[in-house]
Structure 1
Amino acid sequence: MGDDAVALYGAAGVEFKQSADIVIARKDLYLSLGEVRVDYVFVSRAGEEQTVTIGFPLPRVPATPDDPASVQLVEGSGGDLRNYLGLGVAVNGRPLISVLHEFAWLNNSDVTAEVQAAGLPLLVDLECWEALQALDPDTAEALAASGLLWGHGPPNRTRAWDYQAVYEWRRTFPPGETAVSIHYRPLLGWRTDYGKSFYLEGEHAGTACVDDRLRGEIEASGGYREGAELTYIMTTARNRAGSIGRFNLTAGTTRPKEWAPGKILIALCPAEASTDEQGYRHWSATNFVPEKDIRVFFYTTD
């Protein structure tokens, strides 16, 4: 990954495999550097109980442990590296027990079967390094030829595929309202910003509605040290019946616990989002049909 490269790992909310009779009456979305929270009120319009499969696909991440963007253990994961967002889901206040599905991706191709056939784990931690180096030459050459491995011989072999965990639950929804809550720690995109222009001017700044007011706040703070991007995938909501009855969006300044104190400024679309005394940004809509994903910029200052 080059100095000017960026990894944007967008995640979304829960997805229904069968959803013709289930609508979102309300969705409250909170986005921050340290936490994402989504609270739904679903309404089943079916005349009787309906059992559906709820899915939550985590974003694809590098499978190699020495990549700067590779996953780490996070709070809420229960010590399981595969839950690299520390995902938690509850229905009507009760945690759900999930089924984990794991995938390997090379570009947009599902290569799970090829990786498993070679006897390699899909998500490799540092303790599995020796097994990768011990591959027989024919298998290693075949994997390298297909683009799944970089390096043709030990000790330089590493994985080229991305890893993805998808959690699923089976849940019976009675007619009427059901509350579903999810929370996780987001994966952020960090971009080297020489000249401090990328996040403040031009096309990319326009996607987060950076305005003169925010530029003035950043200048008054003495400039920003780093900028981060958070992408939240909204377009999957169009797979469900109808629009979102009431949508409330908040972008806040919650930071990871291990971070040092400092001021955080936020850029958020649409431009008419309000700002409260804490610096949180707010926007609401009724009968909301998402046409694009949400992208938030966060600026850390001294």
Structure 2
Amino acid sequence: MKPWLSALLILLGSTPAFANGAMASFPAGGVEFKDSADISIAREDLRLGPGEVRVQYRFVSTAAEPQTVTIGFPLPRVPSSPDTPDSVGAVEGSGGDMRNYLGFGVSVDERPLIPILHEFAWLGEKDVTATILAAGLPLISDYETWQVQSAKLSLEEATALVAAGLVYGKPGGYLDPLWDYQAIYEWSQEFTPGETEVDIRYKPLMGWPGDFGSTYEVGEHADSACVDDALRAEIAAREADGHYYQVAQLDYITQTAKHWHGPIGEFNLTIDASQPENWAASDSGVLFASCPVAPTQLGEHEWGFTAKDYVPDRDVRVFFYFFD
């Protein structure tokens, strides 16, 4: 199997978790991490915000010879249906290509790379890519394309897909895809003895879950982001003035760093609590909660956390509260 450096993204409901890199192989059906004996993360600068996620790694190889490895970056799984609130669309600058739904970009030692795209369709944990392609259906598409392609199915083909739980609807009528789509980007690079810098950025797929029962203020879910009494009091004060929030959740997996040699030499987390230009909200600003680290304020909308020889024992979770 190939050695992989993988940043694993896991979709939690409508919200993705983004992840640190780890040496891994990529067998059919999932990512299996492999430990690295001679490549360590000397520094990681992680910036989490509702408008962009950016992670800059400085890797150090103590191997005597250069190592060529394959780099893999899975995007989160997203619903393939073009007819749901959680469906995705093409990002600006993609030329209408829906496959790069996070606007993913990567550079190595300041040189931009064009990665290879791998595409998957998942029904639960089952890889159904081959079945979807054999039926002549797109793995992900806009509403118009899906209508045209699904209309070409014969009655027998449509009946079989419905029976398999891959589509919903009445054979011969409108059908809706039920699988999740995932894009995985891959490239190869050489780790020479010494330092290698990798810079990855993308637009987070946040989702806008409803806060039924105030689960983003109290209870187990709120505790997972270290929501405290001070934040609850600030929320209550704004609501008393007639402002109410929508919440966006962003998760980032850091524990895969344990697969590298030693701890993260220097870990710098910045939370950008500014409001993206195209998101309507009041002038009262964006509130947030984060766990497991407690950042300190760096500027008007920036908060930071720094640690040396960092060994993450819990993944990062951030709630952003946007008020009308």
**How does the TM-score come out when normalised to structure 1?**
0.91
- The Cα shift of 1:261 comes to 5.0
Match of 2:262 among 242, 247, 250: 242
Is 1:256 aligned to residue 263 of structure 2?
no
Within-5 A mapping of 1:42-61: 42-61=59-78
Provide closer, same or farther for how the CA distance between residues 62 and 110 of structure 1 changes in structure 2, counting only shifts above 3 A.
same
Provide closer, same or farther for how the CA distance between residues 52 and 289 of structure 1 changes in structure 2, counting only shifts above 3 A.
same
**Alignment match, 1:11:** 18
Matched residue type, 1:114: T
Larger mean Cα displacement after TM superposition, 272-281 or 122-131: 272-281
Match of 1:231 among 234, 240, 251: 251
- The Cα shift of 1:57 comes to 0.3
- Matches of 2:93 and 2:227 in 1, distance apart? 33
Larger mean Cα displacement after TM superposition, 117-126 or 105-114: 117-126
For residues 217-272 of structure 1, give each alpha carbon's deviation from its aligned partner in whole angstroms, at most 9, with x where no partner exists: 22333354211111112233233332211111111124333223531111112363
Is 1:177 aligned to residue 195 of structure 2?
yes
Does the 8 A contact of 2:274 with 2:301 survive in 1? no
Provide closer, same or farther for how the CA distance between residues 205 and 165 of structure 1 changes in structure 2, counting only shifts above 3 A.
same
Provide closer, same or farther for how the CA distance between residues 169 and 24 of structure 1 changes in structure 2, counting only shifts above 3 A.
same
**Alignment match, 1:67:** 84
Match of 2:218 among 180, 201, 210: 201
- Matches of 2:173 and 2:220 in 1, distance apart? 42
- Matches of 2:174 and 2:323 in 1, distance apart? 39
Aligned Cα root-mean-square deviation (Å): 2.0
User: In percent, how many aligned pairs have the same letter?
Assistant: 52
- The Cα shift of 1:78 comes to 4.8
**Alignment match, 1:140:** 158
**How does the TM-score come out when normalised to structure 2?**
0.85
- The Cα shift of 1:76 comes to 4.8
Does the 8 A contact of 2:292 with 2:314 survive in 1? no
Is 1:103 aligned to residue 137 of structure 2?
no
Larger mean Cα displacement after TM superposition, 138-147 or 216-225: 216-225
Provide closer, same or farther for how the CA distance between residues 271 and 212 of structure 1 changes in structure 2, counting only shifts above 3 A.
farther
- Matches of 1:151 and 1:278 in 2, distance apart? 50
Which consecutive unaligned segments of at least 5 residues does structure 2 have?
A: 1-11, 26-35
- The Cα shift of 1:110 comes to 0.8
**Alignment match, 1:267:** 289
Which consecutive unaligned segments of at least 5 residues does structure 1 have?
A: none
- Matches of 1:294 and 1:98 in 2, distance apart? 27
Secondary structure in structure 2 of the residue aligned to 1:218:
helix
- The Cα shift of 1:116 comes to 1.2
Does the 8 A contact of 2:50 with 2:206 survive in 1? yes
- Matches of 1:100 and 1:20 in 2, distance apart? 28
